[in-house]
Amino acid sequence: MPLDPDAVLLTDRVAIVTGAAVGIGRATALALARFGAHLAVCDRDVDNMASLATDIEAAGRKVVTATLDVRDGDAVREFVAAAAEQLGPVDVLVNNAGGGFHAPFLDVNDKGQDSLMRENFTSVTNFVRATEPFMPDRGGSIVNVTSIEAHRAAPGFAVYSAMKAAVANLTKTLALELGPRLIRVNAIAPDVIPTPGIGEVAVTTPLPRAGNVDDVAAAVVYLAGDLSAFVTGTTLHVDGGNLAAGGWHRADDGGFHT
């Protein structure tokens, strides 16, 4: 059917956003609310979660919050069920929670590796399995936030990078397996996005500016709604052109060098 400006709206849809207290997760939750969605949000950051809930309610939307460790499968299932009970069927799931630490691969012990795997990969599988039964017959959208590191080497972040690559691959498989349910599954791979977790970043991207968390939130809004109704199994790179640039870097004079 012909496009209509209202196709971008998410009026009265229900969205879950993980790792929502700050950074990309917070910007995403607020953007979804401003476009009309009700929110269920979770994080371990109690204070910032409380202020996020206030901001969502100020936008005129309902909100359910939980202090939650996304690695805990039982807690995830309880949260999703409670969200669906209070808000209704879940139309959108945004798997944003994740994180890592810098260390050479050989210096990462068993405990550290297990933590990285559970936070960046198992959290996604936990939420997908928990949420799918609560998605409506008309389908829905799952958006997995990965990283440019899923698509290139990442010295010092080997396990984190491998888990993000695993999520990118899982995204493709889930797009096929959940397609008959009209559930679309896509990923977003950001880079050069300053957040509280990483601070400011050097700008050597083809676009001569840093990104911001709202750039990523905008991509989520697109993938969550009807404008992307025929988009599934793909990764949207919100990186200022860094993946395309490969080893090329923009110099101060506007040229490029390796």
Q: What is the pLDDT of residue 258?
A: 58
Task: Tell me the C-alpha distance between 33 and 197, whole Å.
Answer: 23
Q: What DSSP character marks residue 119?
A: I
pLDDT at residue 250, as a whole number = 75
- Tokens 């990309």 — which residue? 24
Q: DSSP state, 213?
A: H
Angstrom distance (rounded) from CA 195 to CA 27: 11
pTM higher than 0.85: yes
What per-residue confidence (pLDDT) applies to 84?
Answer: 98
Assign domain 5-257 one CATH number from 3.40.50.720, 3.10.20.30, 2.60.40.10, 3.30.70.580. Answer: 3.40.50.720
- Tens of pLDDT, residue by residue, the chain (258 residues): 688 899 899 999 999 999 999 999 999 999 999 999 999 999 999 999 999 999 999 999 999 999 999 999 999 999 999 999 999 999 999 999 999 999 999 999 999 999 999 999 999 999 999 999 999 999 999 999 999 999 999 999 999 999 999 999 999 999 999 999 999 999 999 998 987 766 676 777 888 888 999 999 999 999 999 999 999 999 999 999 999 988 777 777 777 765
Angle at 230 between CA 206 and CA 217, to 5 degrees: 45
125-80-15 Cα angle (round to 5): 90
- Tell me if residue 19 falls in helix, strand or coil: coil
Q: From the candidates 22, 160, 178, 191, which is the catalytic residue?
A: 160
Residues 6+ apart with CB under 8 A from 164: 98, 120, 146, 147, 149, 150, 189
Separation of alpha carbons 19 and 240, rounded Å: 23
Q: Cα(240)–Cα(118) distance, rounded to whole angstroms?
A: 29
Output the six-digit token pair for 164. Answer: 């993000």
Active site residue 160: yes
Domain ranges of the chain: 5-257
Q: Which string of DSSP letters, residue by residue, matches 165-207?
A: HHHHHHHHHHHHHHGGGTEEEEEEEE-S--BTTTB-----SSS
The tokens describing 60, both together, are 């005129």
Nearest to 148 by CA among 86, 102, 193: 193
Cβ-contact 36, 10 below 8 angstroms: yes
Cα–Cα distance measured from residue 48 to residue 20, given in angstroms and rounded to the nearest whole number: 9
